């Protein structure tokens, strides 16, 4: 059986965490980076976006996070209609982990994680660095859960790439978001550790009914952990289907770059 080429033919889910219709986005006039993307992610699922470098994965994530304008189409995220004018959805609802992580290098791991709780707290206390004890405890628990208990007091610039990625995950979990958008957030971790972290996160996704949309290159992890895979190539969705039933041999061509390099690990 070959690969299904899919337009947005799925029956509509009752509730979607992400509902994108005919999305077009260009950084410069008429240079389209996203070319009519349709994407409907049901609540409570873990979806992976794959595709070669430059396909538009980060661009799509940023549009969903409300951080990039778009020119055409409709984008709804957790019931919030984005207007394409950089009004992001509430951070209480959508947590975004950028490819560059966005950590404050001079603060400790714990302080960075606590910054995630700012989304949930008003008042001056947190901005002055006074967090409720319960928040500090929760922040420590997330660091512990992600294997960073002993790094809480270490400043971010002294952490490895994989450790920083885990700090960024903990910070996002502190927001208590309903939807997490994660851009290559375990790419600096070795495979066994990435698998452990993703299993932990999947546990949270299931337990709390969250939705996770992420970019991920490692095929084994996608097969083991994702519900659904979407392949973006040259700004278009060229495939989507359940992760468990993918035929990887024919799938490979879809995620390969034109020059033959693949953005996918584990072939």
Ligand X SMILES: Nc1ncnc2c1ncn2[C@@H]1O[C@H](COP(=O)(O)OP(=O)(O)OP(=O)(O)O)[C@@H](O)[C@H]1O
Binding site for ligand X (CB under 6 A): 27, 33, 51, 53-59, 99, 263
Residue 117 binds to Mg ion (criterion: CB under 5 A) = no
Residue 171 or 217 having the CB closest to ligand X: 217
To the nearest 5 percent, what fractions of the chain are helix, strand and coil?
35, 25, 40
What are the two backbone dihedrals, phi and then psi, of residue 48, each rounded to the nearest 5 degrees?
A: -115, 135
Distances (CA, A) of 137 to 29, 117, 120: 49, 12, 16
Q: Which partner in ligand X, Mg ion, none is near 126 (CB below 5 to 8 A by kind)?
A: none
Residue 19 or 184 having the CB closest to ligand X: 184
Q: How far is the CB of 77 from Mg ion (least distance, A)?
A: 19
Q: How far is the CB of 241 from ligand X (least distance, A)?
A: 19
- Cβ atoms of 89 and 30 within 8 Å: the answer is no
Check residue 86 and give left, alpha or beta (phi > 0: left; psi -120 to 50: alpha).
left
Q: Which partner in ligand X, Mg ion, none is near 59 (CB below 5 to 8 A by kind)?
A: ligand X
Q: How far is the CB of 231 from ligand X (least distance, A)?
A: 11
Alpha carbon distance 25, 220 (integer Å): 31
Residue 151 or 217 having the CB closest to Mg ion: 217
Residue 32 or 131 having the CB closest to ligand X: 32
Q: How far is the CB of 227 from ligand X (least distance, A)?
A: 21
Contacts of 173 (CB under 8 A, 6+ apart): 95, 116, 142, 204
Alpha carbon distance 99, 202 (integer Å): 20
Q: Which partner in ligand X, Mg ion, none is near 114 (CB below 5 to 8 A by kind)?
A: none
Going by C-alpha positions, the residue among 27, 61, 44 that lies closest to residue 183 is 61
Which residue of the chain is nearest Mg ion when measured via CB?
58
Retrieve residue 38's tokens: 């349709």
Interface mask (CB under 5 A) for Mg ion, residues 1-40, using x and -? ----------------------------------------
Q: Which partner in ligand X, Mg ion, none is near 175 (CB below 5 to 8 A by kind)?
A: none
Alpha carbon distance 144, 102 (integer Å): 21
Residue 57 or 171 having the CB closest to Mg ion: 57
Q: How far is the CB of 55 from Mg ion (least distance, A)?
A: 8
Residue 18 or 119 having the CB closest to Mg ion: 18
Going by C-alpha positions, the residue among 80, 57, 60 that lies closest to residue 70 is 60
Residue 50 or 139 having the CB closest to Mg ion: 50
Which position among 38, 58, 117, 211 is part of the footprint of Mg ion (CB under 5 A)?
Answer: 58
Q: How far is the CB of 190 from ligand X (least distance, A)?
A: 19
Distances (CA, A) of 88 to 67, 84, 126, 240: 6, 9, 22, 26
Residue ranges binding Mg ion (CB under 5 A): 57-58
């Amino acid at each position: 059986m070959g690969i299904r080429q899919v337009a947005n033919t799925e029956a509509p889910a009752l509730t979607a965490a992400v509902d994108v219709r005919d999305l077009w986005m260009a950084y410069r006039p008429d240079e389209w980076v996203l070319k009519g993307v349709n994407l409907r992610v049901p609540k409570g699922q873990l979806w992976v976006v794959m595709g070669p470098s430059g396909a538009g994965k980060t661009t799509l994530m940023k549009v969903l996070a409300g951080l990039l304008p778009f020119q055409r189409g409709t984008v709804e995220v957790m019931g919030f209609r984005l207007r394409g004018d950089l009004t992001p959805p509430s951070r209480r609802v959508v947590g975004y982990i950028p490819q560059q992580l966005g950590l404050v290098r001079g603060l400790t791991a714990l302080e960075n994680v606590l910054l995630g709780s700012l989304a949930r707290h008003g008042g001056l206390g947190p901005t002055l660095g006074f967090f409720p004890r319960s928040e500090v405890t929760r922040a420590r628990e997330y660091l512990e859960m992600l294997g960073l208990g002993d790094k809480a007091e270490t400043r971010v610039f002294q952490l490895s790439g994989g450790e920083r990625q885990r700090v960024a995950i903990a910070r996002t979990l502190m927001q208590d978001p309903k939807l997490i958008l994660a851009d290559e957030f375990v790419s600096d971790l070795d495979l066994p550790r990435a698998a452990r972290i993703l299993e932990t996160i999947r546990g949270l996704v299931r337990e709390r009914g969250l939705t996770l949309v992420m970019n991920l290159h490692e095929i084994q992890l996608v097969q083991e952990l994702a519900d659904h895979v979407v392949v973006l190539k040259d700004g278009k969705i060229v495939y989507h289907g359940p992760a468990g039933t993918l035929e990887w041999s024919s799938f490979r061509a879809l995620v390969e770059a034109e020059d033959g390099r693949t953005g996918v690990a584990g072939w």
